Structures are given as C-alpha cells and as structure tokens.
Amino acid sequence: DRVLTAGLPDYTRCDNTLITSKYTILNFLPLTIRGQFRRFANMYFLIVGIIMAIGTYFPSLFASAFSPFTTLGPLALFVSISLLMEGIADKKRHHNDYITNTYQFKVKVKFNYSQRKDIRQGHLIVIRNREMIPADTILLASSGDRGCAYIETSSIDGETNLKLRISAMSKHDKKLALHQSHESIEDAVLQEDHQTNENRNHLSSVLTTEPPDAHINTFSGKLTMPISVTATDNDGADGTDGGEIIPLGSDHLLLRGAVLRNTEWVIGIVSYTGTDTKLSQNSIDAPSKFSQLDLVTNKCVIVMIIVELICIIYLSTMATRSSESEPTASNLSPLWYLVVWPYLPELNPPKWEESGDNWIQYALTYITLLSYFVPLSMYFTLEIVNFFLMYLIYVDDDMYDETTNTIAEPRSTIVTDLGQIQYIFTDKTGTLTQNVMRFKRCSIGTGFGGVDSNGDGNGDGDGHPFHPTKQVLVGQIHINDSNNNGDVSTSDNGLHLETSKGMTFNAELFLRVMSLCHTVVNDEKSADGAPFGYAYQAESPDEGALVSEASKGFGFQVISRDSRGIKLKCDHPTFNIETWSVLAINKFDSTRKRMSILVRSPQEFGNVAILLCKGADSAMLDPEICTTITKMLGIESHLGEFASEGLRTLVLGVRFLTDKQCDEWMSSYTSAAASIKDRDTKLKLCASEIEKELHIVGATAIEDKLQKNVPKTIATLAKAGIKLWVLTGDKRETAIEIGYSTQVLTPQMHLTEVSDRGLEFKRTPLERIFAVDRDVRKGRLVKHLKKEKPALASSSPITPHAIVPSGDGPRALIIEGNALKHLQGDSELEELIFNIASQATSVIACRVTPAQKAQLVKLVRHHVVPEPVTLAIGDGANDVGMIHEAHVGIGISGKEGKQAVNASDFSIGQFRFLEDLILYHGRWDYMRTSTVVLYSFYKNFVIAGCLVLYNHETLFSGTSLFDQWLNSGFSFWAFFPILFLGMFDRNLEKSYIRKNPEVYKPTRQKELITARILSRWIFMAIAHV
C-alpha cells in the first residue's frame, strides 16, 4: 500500500509528465532503423549492398556486377522517406505532450500556479469548472452540495453522461465550508498551510491507496483524519487515537483526463501522477496485426529468392566449367572480335589469365547481378497505395452517418484483409440495434401492460394481448381521457393515474425501484422527463429509459441526486417531495448479474431501510434469491412473451430490513469498503449476503430497435459467403427473436439449442447432437475425435433437454454462455463444439461474457484449416477482447463508449456500412494490392531474366546487359504505372457488386495470389524475356 500525507508532495515517486511520443533525439535513429530492417526485403537488400561493396572495393576477392550505390542508394532513399514520415508523426506527439505538460494549475505551494508536469503525489490542487483533471485526485471539497462534483469521462471511456463524485470529507463539511469565490478558496487553503506548518505531523491527513492499476472503475484506499478534526466534529464520527478512517472508493476518485462539469471548483489530494495514473496504465498499444497480404508477399519473396538461387547455382556452375575448359572454336565463337586482334599494330595484346575464379567467387558475383529478382520498390509502393486506399475509405460519403455526424475512419493499414473476410463476429446491443432504449412493457402482479409507439400507454396496436400500463398499476381500473372527467389527476400530456383509486402495493414498489435503483444524475439541459433545465445522464441506456419513463409516464420524477440521497417529486396521493437517503450501492457485475441500492425511506414513510434490486431474470428468479411468491405471479410466462418480441428484460425486487439487519450489514459493508486488499471481492460477497429473500414486484421490458438496413446487410453478406456469428449477453429467447428479425435466422432453418444443465452437461450429448445428420454419418464430425470417442457417440444416451437436435437442411446453432464454460480449457470439447458449429449456417451465442466472446473467435482461428480471416465488430468495452482477437476489428461509434473504437482497426457509424467496407472497399483494395505485388515481381523478373540469358553470350562472366544506373532507374520509372494501377483500378463497379455479392467469393477464398497465379505470372515473364 502507498501512504501519502496531505499537502506534502512526495518527490520520490514519478512526476506528472505525460509522454506519448515514441522517440527522443538520441534513440530515434537506432529504434526506427531497427524497425525498418525487420522487413525481410530491406534486410535482403542491405546484405546484397554489403556484398556489392566488398566486391567493388576488394576486387581481388570477387568482382561485383554493380556499384553498391545502385542498391544502397535507393534503399537509403526509401528508408529515409519512411523515417521522415515516422519522425513527423512523433513530432506531433511531442508537441501535444508539451501543451499537456505545461498547462497551468493552482497547487498548494503558497497557492501559486504550477505546471501540470510539476504536480506530485500528495499535492493539494484546485480544479475549476470545465478544466481537465491533471492527475488522479481524491475529492476533498467542492462548490457543490456537501462537496460533491460532476465529471465527464468521455476522453477515457467515451461515455458522455455525467458521473457523480462524492467528497471524502462529506462528514466533515463544517470544517470545509468554503465560499463560492476563488479568493475564498485561496484564503482557506493558505490558512490551512499556516496551520499545517505549525504542527504538520499532528494536523495532516494521511492517504493510503492501493498500488497503481489499470482498472478505471475500481479504487481502494482510505483517508485517516487528524485527531483534531475527529475530536471536535459533532456529527457522530468515530474518533480514535489515530483519527477517523474514511474508506475511499471509485466514487471519491477524479480520474486524470476527465473534465469537471457543473461544479465551480474542487479541491483534492493527488493520489497518482504520471505513469501511475489509471489513464496511463490503460495506454497499452493494441496487439500488432500483420496483414494477410504481407504474409503472402513474404512467401512470394521467398519463392523469388529460391528462383534466384537456382539461377545463381546454374550460372556459377556453368561459369566454373567454362573457365576450366580448353578454349575451342565452338566456345570462343561468341568472341568473334578476338579473330581480328589487334586492331592497331602498336596496341599491345591483353594479358591473358590462365586460371579463372572459383565457384564461390562466381556465386558472389551473380548475387550482385541477379538481386533484381526481388523488387526493391515494392514495399514502398504498397505503403503509398495503402495510405491512399485508407484515404478513399475516409472520404467515402456513402459511409457517413448523419445522425451521429460520424465518418468511417481507418486506423490501421490492413485494408486488404477486408477483402478476405470469412467469419464475422458481431455484438448485438448497439451494433445490430440502435442502443436507444425505450420502455415498452411491464409485468406487475398477475397482469402485464405496455405502451404503443407514441408512448401513450393505451396499447400497442399490434394485436398483443396486454393491458394499458396504468390499468396494471392501479389494478386494471378505468383510465379517464385527457378531458379530465372524474377523479383524475392529469398532467399536460394526460398520462397520470386516478387519484381516487390509487395504485396497488406492488405497483408503487415497482415504480420506486424504477425511480430509485440507479446511478442517474441530472445535467443542465431539459429532456427525457427531467426537471426543466436538466436532463438525465445515465451510465447505461437501460437505466436512462427506466428513470425517464418513471418520470414522464408515471409522475415519479427524480429532482436531484447528491451525497444525502435522491429527491423524488411524486404526482400521486402521498407526499409531493420525498428525500430517500442512499446508504450503499452494490454495483452491477457479470457474476451476480444484478445491482442494488440500500435506501432509507423519508420520515413520513417510517424511516425504513429498504433494499431495491434489479437484474437479469436468471439471477433474480433464483430460488435462493427471491421468495416463492414469484411462481404465483406468473412473471416467468410474461418474461417469455417479452423475450419473444425481442425485448430486453429486467426483474425488479425489494427487501425490507429491520434496523438490526441494516446495521449489521452496514458494518460488514463498511469494513469491506475500507479494506484495500481484495476490496471488490469482499464487496461482492457483501452484496450477495443482502440480495436474498427478495420480494419480486415486477419486470420491465425495454425495446432496442434495429439499426437501419441491418437485415438487408446481413442477407447481402450471407450471399457473399460470409458466415455471421452473433455474440450477445441477452437471454436465449431474446437472442433468437433478434436473430429472426435480422435474418441471421430464417424460418427454413432447423435450430439446435445447447443450454446449460449443470453437471449433467457432458461430452456425450455433444457427440450425439447431429447423430441424424448425413454430414456426421459421412465422417465429417466424428473423424475429428479421438479413437475412443466415436464408440461413445453410438452407445451413450442423450441427456434429456440438454440438446435439441436439428434435422436436415439449413441449420443454426444456439448456445448459451453457461454451456460454453464447460468447454473452455478442454481441447477435445472445443474441437467438438467447433465442428458442430462449422456445419451450421448461423451461430448465436447468448449470455456470453466478454472473455467468452474472445474465446469463440480464438476457437475459429485455431480449428479452421487453413486459418480463416475473421472480423469482429462491436461498440462497447465488453467487445474489446474479441476485437483484439480477430484479424480485423471494427468499432462502432455508439453510446457505450469509445473503448471499442480505440481498440479497432476501422471505425464506422452504423452496422450497414459494413457492406460498403467489405464488399466494395475490401474487394477493390485486395485486388489492387495483389496486382501491385504480382506486377512488381513481374517487372523485376523480366529484367533479371534478360541478365540470365545475356550471360550465356558472355561465357558466364557476370557481365550486365544494361548500365548499372539504368537498372536502378528501371525501378523508378516503372514504379508509376504500378502505383496508379494500385490506386484507381476497378474491375467491377459498386452497382454491379451490390446486385451480385457472389463476386466476393474469389477474394474471400484468397484466389488472387496462389501458387497457380504466381506460376502463371512467372511463365508470362519468361515468355516476355
């Protein structure tokens, strides 16, 4: 653990300098040159150039056919251009670092301005509204109520919603009551400076934090208050000899890179600086991805070097035999000019050598002569072509999204891989859907209701058998119209309930869970049912939809949220303004699959401790979590109907606690929150302890509409022969319904569902899953298993209900994440499930975790031979794993943050743009660059072939047919036709490809550069020679 004293900077730890540049003046050349010569061709020409230099300057060893400058000169030119481009990019990084590090902040050193880079851990700093947080800082005080502050973390995680941060000193706000003016802040801090200097050891608070890590949503620490504060505090704080210990969590931490919003100023103690900050800890480069075309190009280079070696061996052998043989008329016939020697009587005859060079000397000479088999300019040409193709993607208006003002942005040079995609792995929420949540259905008691497309709560209009929502809330009584006849309390939109009847008990609890169980805060603008002048800012669209509907539709309006709790304005016959104290929040995690909030009701309601909880149905309807009353409510059948409509469901529950139960749990919760080691694990255990004996009050169903043209895009990609796997965290019924609506599934498909049945889920059901399938009978599945496994496939019975097999025809595999966890780590089971999936036209994996998404991508890459080119597309942080694992990662600029975009190779605004990116740009780019590679080898093979044939006429002496600079210039002037062909060639127009997506097949199957195609170009070059 790290220990800091407030106000005392620790100069033994790293400063706050941010460095994003890669190089310095001293290491630029060594590092960049080393990177350039990792390329096989560059190293090849460097070696050839050294051999030329030895032959030129030491002719007694062997004769060089060309000057070394003819090879090293162009090589130096191309490498220098690459170094220049790298240097310009790094200079921009240095400039941005300078601006960032020299920004002025007020630091508690006589309250003078200090540059950001000079901030140290332990400093007390002042941050003003809309300023960026300079370092990870613990919030101590602010201009907000009880020291609270709001931050925007869009630059960190892409989430534009505001997040509430709580002051660590909220219990001691009397000691930190500062005026709003900046002068008062300065006076207060200066006064504290003088007091601290008089008795620093006694008065200074001590901050203890965990070691730096990369988890932006977690933090563990504690603040030990000085005895003088705790002893004089009158609010009931526990004072000890060492002072009061205040546990710190992520709610107290202001992250570097976040922006202060809606708060005039804050004062905090710096906990992490520089490379210790969570932002720097997360600045890990994405794994380096090597283009598939680069791999093929390297293989082509190896082939050409083999051809070159064969020619060198042949010519060296012939040269050795020629020099050792006796001169005869036949072998001297090419030297016709010797017959008429001397031309002039006074010219002395040449000095004849009786012995020639040996085989090795001739081989070295021919290495220098035939180095043109490998094109020196090819990699440079490919770089220029790739950058231009990236520019074409960037300026393509057909991939511009007007709704989000987003353009397609290439972030990697692997554009050619887009033309070879065989598998697409896609997230659902925010990728196939809009991630714009809208409250659609609810289940309360024995009835369930819904709203129509206009949100008026009077039915759907689609023939679904449900009641208007407000009839369900009040026990299915009559709702008066907007004329307000009878005992009805209506608002401007006529949406509120009959006051004479009131709501049922479950309905009122249901609405309170909707309006209180969340982390939503208010921003300074008006929308979504928030008070005038404000808008709700939610960490997830689901929460925003629920709070907005509770406010607009049912009159439970969240007025404000601060450290005291949540204020509600209720338009029902109870109390108008309610203040609910928030005691603790148990955040959502993928293990529990639920979140809960412990609140204390207003004094008017008895000051009762209530746990409000919401989560996935699989987690909430567990017999160990909820009471048996849920079966009487019939909520499970309602959830099934909601899922059949493709809606996202949440189950809501409450638990009333006695004061003794609340105090005991709060004691364990406080202890867990104060621990630094394994805090998250302990907090999860505390949450699991209290989230029991829940009374289920209802369920909600939220609609997430499909993005524009998603079904059409998926159908087009399927015609192109690309397999699509949908990986989602939704329940199975919802995933299947979305599959049909997106045309991933069709009515003609036979669905094979693999669900988790606990310990009875074994190997045998998987082996028997397609036992009636003709592909299995032909050995396409069983042949992959070990010898002892096929016998089990015919002898063991199928576990009932674990697997639902399909028949003949198109098939689709539906598998749950809980079933996948039985497969991970078992190579045989992984191979088995893949071979089942490989026989399916479509695959949908539901209830999967981010790790399982990446595991499925890895599964396909590992088991398909040859390895297919995979593409993963998503929009959230939970998709980063599979984006990194796939050959090509696509990030969608959505509402779940920019982590996916930052980790991706390409970013787009909508899923439908995938058609343009793959079928048009991908196909064109792969064909263009393939032509560049083959054309480059062709032109160099022609000139090298001429040199081979010419040496038959020179007694294999290693003489060049062309001038040495003419040879070098050939790569230059023959470069332009190939360059323009690589940038602008189109063999088919976009309109034709749109009508006939099947033309993508040749590029998908990598038919453009194969052994047959390369041989054809070599034979063409031989014929040309």
HEC string of 394-444 equals HCCHHHCECCCCECCEECCCCHHHHHHEEEEEECCCCCCEEEEEEEEEEEE
Mean pLDDT of 997-1016: 87
- Looking at residue 280, its pLDDT comes to 77
773 tagged catalytic: no
Question: What is the distance between the alpha carbons of residues 400 and 908, in angstroms, rounded to a whole number?
Answer: 8
Axis-axis angle for helices 732-741, 635-644 (nearest 10): 20
Q: Are residues 506 and 427 in the same domain?
A: no
543 is in an annotated binding site: yes
Q: How far apart are the first and last CA of the chain?
A: 74
**pLDDT average, residue stretch 659-665:** 91
Name every residue whose Cβ is closer than 8 Å to that of residue 314 and which is 6 or more positions away in sequence: none
Q: What is the mean pLDDT of the chain?
A: 76
* Mean pLDDT, residues 778-796: 39
What pLDDT band is residue 109 in, cutting at 50, 70 and 90?
very low
**Residue 741 and residue 646 in contact, taking contact as beta carbons nearer than 8 Å:** yes
Considering the domain architecture, whether residues 666 and 570 belong to the same structural domain is answered as: yes
CATH number for the domain spanning 476: value is 3.40.1110.10
Instruction: Choose the weakest-confidence range: 45-54, 592-601, 731-740.
Output: 731-740
Question: In the structure, what pLDDT confidence band is assigned to residue 923 with cuts at 50, 70 and 90?
Answer: very high
Amino acid 302: pLDDT: 85
- Tell me: do 725 and 582 sit in the same domain: no
pLDDT of residue 801: 38
- Considering 15, 157, 357, 427, which one is annotated as catalytic? 427
Q: Is residue 1004 part of a domain?
A: no
Q: Is the pLDDT of residue 171 over 70?
A: no
Residue 813 counted as domain residue: yes
Q: Which residue has the tokens 């012939």?
A: 318
The answer to whether residues 488 and 526 touch, using CB atoms and an 8 Å cutoff, is no
Q: Which domain holds residue 814?
A: 422-432+708-916
CB atoms within 10 A of CB 621: 20
Residue 780 binned pLDDT confidence (cut-offs 50, 70, 90): very low
Q: Which residue has the higher pLDDT, 187 or 778?
A: 187
Percent of the chain surpassing pLDDT 70: 74
Residue 871 has pLDDT above 90, yes or no: yes
pLDDT at 342: 57
Residue 726: strand, helix, or coil: strand
CA neighbor of 655 nearest in space, from 609, 689, 622, 618: 609
Q: What is the mean pLDDT of residues 911-916?
A: 91
Judge whether 929 is annotated as a binding position: no
Q: Is residue 933 part of a domain?
A: no
pLDDT at 351 > cutoff 50? yes
Residue 54 confidence (pLDDT): 92
Total of domains in the chain: 3
pLDDT band at 565 (very low <50, low <70, confident <90, very high): confident
With cut-offs at 50, 70 and 90, classify the pLDDT of residue 202: very low
Q: Is there a single domain that holds both residue 753 and residue 616? A: no
Residues 871 and 793 in one domain: yes
- Is residue 470 annotated as involved in ligand binding? no
Q: Per the annotation, does 648 bind a ligand? A: yes
User: Is 71 labelled a binding residue?
Assistant: no
Task: Flag whether 238 is marked binding.
Answer: no
pLDDT (average), residues 220-236: 61
Q: How far apart are CA 1021 and CA 1025, in angstroms?
A: 6
94 domain residue, yes or no: no
State mean pLDDT over 684-705. Answer: 87
Residue with more model confidence, 797 or 1009: 1009
Report the distance separating Cα 766 and Cα 805, nearest Å: 10
Residues 824 and 902 in one domain: yes
Say if residue 682 is in the same domain as residue 557: yes
For residue 572, is pLDDT > 70?
no
The reply, when asked if residue 487 is annotated as ligand binding, is: no
CATH number (domain holding residue 777): 3.40.50.1000
Rounded CA separation 665/944 (Å): 83
Residue 131 and residue 258 in contact, taking contact as beta carbons nearer than 8 Å: no
What gap in Å lies between CA 590 and CA 999, rounded to an integer?
Answer: 42
State the DSSP H helix or E strand holding residue 793, giving kind and residue range, or none if neither. helix 789-795
**Contact criterion met (CB below 8 Å) for 273 and 121:** yes
Cis ω on the peptide bond leading into residue 212 (within 30° of 0)?
A: no
Phi, psi of 906, rounded to the nearest 5 degrees: -145, 145
Residue finishing a domain among 682, 703, 724: 703
Indicate whether 663 belongs to any domain.
yes
**pLDDT tens-digit profile of 637-658?**
888 788 777 777 888 999 999 9
Which strands sit side by side in the sheet containing 259-261, from one edge to the other?
162-165, 149-152, 259-261
875 is in an annotated binding site: yes
* pLDDT category of residue 954 using cuts at 50, 70 and 90: confident
Query: Mutual orientation of helices 679-690 and 659-674 as an angle, nearest 10°?
Result: 170
Residue closest to 688 by CA, chosen among 790, 589, 830: 589
Q: What is the pLDDT of residues 1-30, one digit of tens each?
A: 678 888 788 888 888 887 767 788 888 888
User: What pLDDT does residue 421 have?
Assistant: 92
- Say whether both 832 and 910 belong to one domain: yes
The C-alpha atoms of residue 469 and residue 273 are separated, in whole angstroms, by 52
What does the alpha-carbon distance between residue 10 and residue 1024 come to, in Å, rounded to a whole number? 74
Domain boundary among 703, 721, 737: 703
- Per residue in 65-95, pLDDT (tens digit) is 888 888 888 888 888 887 887 888 788 878 8
> Comparing 491-495, 622-626, 770-774, which segment has the lowest mean pLDDT?
491-495
Domain finish residue from 916, 941, 962? 916
675 with 756, same domain: the answer is no
990 annotated ligand binder: no
Domain membership of residue 808 (yes or no) is: yes
Percent residues over pLDDT 90 in the chain: 9
CATH number at residue 153: 2.70.150
Q: Is 498 within the bounds of a domain?
A: yes
What does the pLDDT average to over 138-145?
A: 83
Same domain, 497 and 513: yes
- The residue type found at 431 is T
Confidence of residue 870 (pLDDT cuts 50, 70, 90): very high
Is the bond preceding 866 in cis, omega lying within 30 degrees of 0? yes
pLDDT in tens, 433-482: 876 778 888 888 766 666 554 444 444 444 444 445 544 454 443 333 33
**Would you state the pLDDT for residue 457?**
43
In the predicted structure, residue 732 carries a pLDDT above the cut 50: yes
Q: Is 427 annotated as a binding residue?
A: yes
To the question of whether residue 853 is assigned a binding role by annotation, the answer is yes
Tell me: the pLDDT tens digits for 986-995? 888 888 998 9
Q: Which of 230-244, 700-714, 832-846, 905-919 has the highest mean pLDDT?
A: 905-919
Say what the pLDDT of residue 992 is: 92
What is the pLDDT, as a whole number, of residue 824? 66
Report the predicted TM-score, pTM, of the whole model to 2 decimal places.
Answer: 0.66
Whether residues 626 and 546 share a domain: the answer is yes
Q: Is residue 377 domain-resident?
A: no
Q: Which of 509-523, 570-584, 837-851, 861-875 has the lowest mean pLDDT?
A: 570-584
Is residue 865 scored above 50 in pLDDT? yes
Interval 904-932 mean pLDDT: 90
Together in a domain, 755 and 888: yes
